[in-house]
Chains A and B, each alone.
Chain A
């Protein structure tokens, strides 16, 4: 078997096994809960093993990277019409190999965790079918070789996210959240689709490899494509869906709304980095920066443990997008990888807390869990430290890389990034102190017991990754810094990903460390041993604004009410009274005809037809004879 065949075979196994599992569950296995979970988990484990083989074999030592250019396979034609053709093919480059590994690793761990977490759920089989469908769609995004195929899987990811968010569909909040997520994503996808159409018009192809040989043409096309990432990666101004998506089961939040799906936007930006002009990159970096700052501020005043993590995810995604905008896709992917590990860890940790405390999610009603759930506590703290960028944790290295990129490309964004790092450390300290330290403040926290092994196992594994992923030993950073893995950077005039200079590195490391430690210290001072939040007293209206998410939801609801809903109401009225009214009821001649026709219709025989036909013939004959 040649390398290409091997790659193709393994990639197809990775892609289609989860789909087969989902279909299998849907067609009949759903009657047996264990079988459903087994099918889904089995498919994911095999996919993980294949991804690992692929990654080890074809990524090899960092210097020995498979050339990205001859890695596309031409598979089945999905659609072919003249000069418009869409091939179903897999583009396997080092970046997709890395992403496949991330997705299948987190997918496996989350499913193991779910075995226990969802055990008593009535929709157990449906849940695993949804997860499998999601993995299929997500891996499709990772492997898609052209933009339309990418868009197709993009949409499928959106729908599997919809299904999983509204898993507990009887709960109005969950059903609403699913709907909101889908529609908000659709707004981003609208821009994405126009971007694809524009790229097709300007470049004459949608094939990613071919596009990478042409490079960026216009700022507009790049920005339209970016719209897709704004929706899926929940960037400002379409960030509103992600916090609501926390209505879904917590393992879903870990897999989809922290580690993988929301990272798809960032992954796409990195993969299509060559499509963006310098102007587009500036806008992208600012959108990312604004998202990072806004979300970090909102996270400070949230009380629901999952919502704190959700806003932190928003903020970190903003970081990654900012890094891409600062011409640092390598830093972005680095942070994406470490974030996948420590954010999945935090969410699963939160899941273990929620499981142990009878679905209590308000951190002010928890407290004292440090002693009741020692393992979960340690795992959660590990994740929190990694997220806060504590020195030598994985998040420290990746955050440094991003700050260094910003330092070189855009100084204001560098300071913004440092501020966000400080805020991040602060709110994570708040979360840990309030939820785990002090005395239990509620019934649920008092009778908490450590979760079973299916849940703590993944926590331990993810803790190790959260600590070590950034270390030189893993080689992740070196792997990403190799220029050969980026498509299209060899053509003339392309924006080359920045190489981090020594000064930038130093500046980032020092300021990042100070910000992280200062944030943690501030959090320790403000929240140690408190019974209620001291911040509202200190900040007043600002704290209220943070708690109420700066009123974006209200603003959008108002906008929607006054634009689209209002238009719909006008259209409906117009339809009812003007068109329908004038068209039929208005003219008296019509009324006469009405009675006549109505009688014919009511008689229920075929004479009507004969009459009309005769009428037609009459008209025809008149014409003919005339």
Chain B
């Protein structure tokens, strides 16, 4: 069996085991979740280290490593088919890191630990699997497995008066997005009569006569772009995100903002771009302008937030604009940058929500007007938050900068105007809202009636250190990322060539 199957099977198996454990054994659930995600993380690191470039698309596995296939529903052309290339490898590693950190940060859950742990593990297993699935149906199925727990977790364990509204709005938006994408995927299936992704891509790129017409491609691409775009928070379908993250429990916000949200982007890169080159040609210019909606508009909205989670939520939506820009540039550099931003943002969003979760647990509020001078009382937390905020405004040394600058270099030649506006959003607007948060929360005198807060104790620092360490590591040595992405270069280049063919 491929180690990939273990990576995502292990948390799901643990979830099934935990179902049988009586709910009185509270610590079992917590430690079970930590253990299972740790197992996935160790395996993911192993695969990351072992991963060898296979830049030969003609090989039997179409350039994917650790491939495993099994029949699942042959009558519908659905199979169990997993494998990774450089791009998905990075996302799997990032997801495993975030999942472990999220499991460590789930300590604030004091009711129905059993269900929470089970849902968290299903979520982890689902999204890890979705990144390595090579069968479109399996990919979609596993993503749904990860997505559904989000709604439940917000509704049941969420915080604030808004949580029911947040849960329903999120459900509504994301289900709609997922359904739109599903319709698009089924249309692809109906044309190619298989869900086998490498096979479809191979057929598209060898330009066999059974290619879809440009009109068909345009329709399907639009369905995928907007459907998946809603899942990511593409402007103007983004308003669910800050609301959901404001209400979600810490671990859920970390997992969703960090990892699950990346699935929409991943699927655009993995499915929509290679299969629908003509559709991409029609719609990517639109996407390029919409990305400014994320970068500029959501950045401006973030400037107005008084609540830390609202700020992180909006900035996290804004950062998706870089990925959209990288995709819309349709250059090797831009796509590489997009993947780098996906990884960097996953780590950063998780770190930011973990930090805000700790603050909420301590102060019972995230209202920046009521807090201040926290750097003195919580030096560790404060230093980390400051670093997270600086990483968020694209400071070199953090992985985000490497990704963003790469996206700019990819997009500049074809879209100087859009890139210029994006650079303003990144350098200036980003700095304004991030430093405002630092000024409000960390600096300044402490209010007399400020709630009592305590720093992160002992080993609870571990998840924070892991996330920050990864951000710094990839920031100082972005080659660790680009080397892996480079191994998928040939398939990315194929995609770019197909796009530029006309």
Contact = CB atoms under 8 A, between A and B. Distances in A.
B24 to A, nearest CB: 19
A23 to B, nearest CB: 10
A169 B375 CA distance: 9
16 contacts: A81-B406, A152-B397, A153-B396, A172-B445, A174-B443, A175-B439, A564-B300, A579-B239, A601-B154, A601-B156, A601-B164, A608-B151, A609-B149, A616-B144, A619-B183, A623-B190
A604 B115 contact: yes
Given A564-B300, A572-B300, A616-B182, 17 more contacts: A81-B336, A81-B406, A81-B486, A152-B397, A159-B390, A182-B431, A183-B428, A186-B428, A200-B409, A564-B429, A571-B300, A583-B239, A598-B155, A601-B154, A601-B168, A619-B183, A624-B190
Interface in A80-108: 80-82, 84
A187 B478 contact: no
Interface in A161-176: 162, 166, 169-172, 174-176
A72 to B, nearest CB: 20
Contact of A609 (B112, B148, B401): B148
A183 B304 contact: no
A580 interface: yes
Given A183-B435, A612-B175, A568 B152 contact: no
A84 B408 CA distance: 12
Contacts of B439: 175-176, 179
Contacts of B175: 597, 612
B479 A179 contact: no
A568 to B, nearest CB: 4
Contacts of A82: 332-333
Interface of A: 77-82, 84, 148, 151-153, 155-156, 159, 162, 166, 169-172, 174-176, 178-179, 182-183, 186-187, 189-190, 193-194, 197, 200-201, 564-565, 567-569, 571-572, 575, 579-580, 583-584, 590, 593-594, 597-598, 601-602, 604-606, 608-609, 612-613, 616, 619-620, 623-624
Contact of B443 (A155, A170, A593, A613): A170
B483 to A, nearest CB: 9
Given A608-B151, A616-B144, A183 B431 contact: yes
A238 B237 CA distance: 37
B368 interface: no
B186 A620 contact: yes
A564 B299 CA distance: 11
A601 B412 contact: no
A601 B301 contact: no
Given A81-B482, A179-B439, A186-B431, A159 B395 contact: yes
A601 B438 contact: no
Given A84-B409, A579-B239, A597-B168, A190 B304 contact: no
A189 B438 CA distance: 21
Contacts of A612: 144, 148, 175
Q: What DSSP secondary structure best describes chain B's contact surface?
A: helix
Given A176-B439, A620-B182, A81 B333 contact: yes
Contacts of A187: 427-428
B427 A189 contact: yes
B428 A190 contact: yes
Interface string B75-104: 010000000000000000000000000000
Interface stretch (B34-42, B48-56, B417-425): B417-425
B190 A84 contact: no
Contacts of A590: 172
Given A602-B156, A616-B144, A619-B186, A175 B444 contact: yes
A171 B443 CA distance: 8
A580 B152 CA distance: 21
Contacts of B187: 623
Given A183-B431, A602-B155, A194 B144 contact: no
A598 B168 contact: yes
Contacts of A593: 172
Contacts of A175: 439, 443-444
Contacts of B393: 186
A597 B428 contact: no
Contact of B186 (A84, A583, A605, A623): A623
B302 to A, nearest CB: 8
* Most chain B C-beta atoms within 10 Å of own C-beta, residue among A153, A579, A598: A598
A601 B445 contact: no
A564 B303 CA distance: 10
Contact of B444 (A84, A172, A609): A172
A169 B172 contact: no
A584 B408 contact: no
A176 B372 CA distance: 13
Interface in B139-159: 140-141, 144-145, 148-149, 151-152, 154-156
A140 to B, nearest CB: 10
Contacts of A79: 402, 406, 478-479, 482
A156 B395 CA distance: 7
B424 A568 contact: no
B375 A594 contact: no
A79 B187 CA distance: 39
A601 B151 contact: yes
Contacts of B408: 193, 197
B236 interface: yes
A78 B190 contact: no
A422 B183 CA distance: 77
B236 A597 contact: no
Interface string B369-400: 00001011000000000000010010111000
B442 interface: yes
A193 B404 CA distance: 12
Nearest to B168: A598
A84 B402 CA distance: 13
B423 A194 contact: yes
Contacts of B189: 620
B107 to A, nearest CB: 20
B239 A567 contact: no
B172 A594 contact: yes
Contacts of A197: 408-409, 412, 416, 419, 423
B291 interface: no
Given A81-B332, A155-B395, A193-B408, A567 B300 contact: yes
A170 B172 contact: no
Contacts of A601: 151-152, 154-156, 164, 167-168, 171
